[in-house]
Amino acid sequence: MAGAMTRRKTAMAASADQKPQSSDSAETTKTPDGDARVASRDVAEETTSDIFLFWPNLIGYSRIVLAVASLWYMPLHPRSCCLLYSISCLLDALDGYAARLFSQSTRFGAVLDMVTDRCSTASLITFLASAFPRWAIVFQILISLDLASHYMHMYATLAMGGSDTSHKSVDKSRSRILNLYYTNKNVLFIFCFLNEAFFLGLYLLSFSSPLLSPGLLQQVPDSAAAAIHQGAQVNSSLLRQIFTNPYSAGALELARANKMDSFFPWVVTIVSFPVMAMKQVINVVQLVKASKWLAEGDVQARKEQGLPRKSRSA
């Protein structure tokens, strides 16, 4: 009898020892993209510096460098600008793949990615507003809609869905079109890629199409022609030879004297236009849905505060 009780106490003690161990060994967490994962508590500690050096974030920094470089070439060197800008946009797909591959999805990376996208697109559209002054108000509206839509959507997601909710986690009950846009990676890539392709095509047309830029038909002034023939001083620096100065003496002639064929820019612009237009519709839907979601939260918060109070009848 005493032996049986001893064995029972031993088994209960072993069970008690094992139970906390199993609960402490792993816990279910959610990544910023909304994926449920089991993370072990017995992991190495990470610091803020470690987060900044994650592979997806390093790719994000390279996107910023390429985007700034494209802005440097944007006024007078369309080929270099287009190449650098396109690489920066294509890396947008690579950082998401790296985040999933190395389990390095972070809030900082998600915000860095969105801010880089918004700033790059806004910078390109700003140039288009100066290249096509008559359509400046249209480009200004597109910039405002893009920024307002994404800011409202991000803020509504954090305020209403919680700090652990990704802006890409959109339930079908809230919006089917946003659910398809954010949850289907192929749809998201096609829309983002062709949206940027439209503005890049329009950018190239500002340097190649006399139909859109009648100034291309003007002759080069004699003073400018003399500077072009004289050329710039040769710089022996290897860096200068690789990254030529877009403001050199010959850059204006190369960029503005109709040296670029407009056929392919027209094809890119026309083909991508329907997707760009649909992207603006999605921005409007996103803005409206986010506004309604925030308003629903306001109604609930006011109800908890006892507002609005009923007016007392005289």
Catalytic residues: 117
Phi first, then psi: give them for residue 38, nearest 5 degrees.
Answer: -95, 115
> Which three-class secondary structure state does DSSP give residue 75?
coil
Residue 70, burial from CB neighbour count under 10 angstroms (0-12, 13-18, 19+) = buried
Contact in structure between 37 and 31 (CB atoms under 8 Å): yes
Residue type, 279: K
* Residue 26, H or E segment: strand 26-30
Report the C-alpha dihedral over residues 165, 170, 173, 176, rounded to 10 degrees. Answer: 180
Q: CA 145, CA 139: separation in Å to the nearest integer?
A: 10
Q: CA 204, CA 266: separation in Å to the nearest integer?
A: 9
- Beta carbons within 10 angstroms of residue 217's beta carbon: 9
Report the C-alpha dihedral over residues 231, 236, 238, 244, rounded to 10 degrees. Answer: -10
Query: Which of 188, 196, 174 is closest to 286 using CA atoms?
Result: 174
Q: CA 167, CA 163: separation in Å to the nearest integer?
A: 10
Contact in structure between 105 and 99 (CB atoms under 8 Å): yes
> Which three-class secondary structure state does DSSP give residue 40?
strand
Q: CA 145, CA 141: separation in Å to the nearest integer?
A: 6
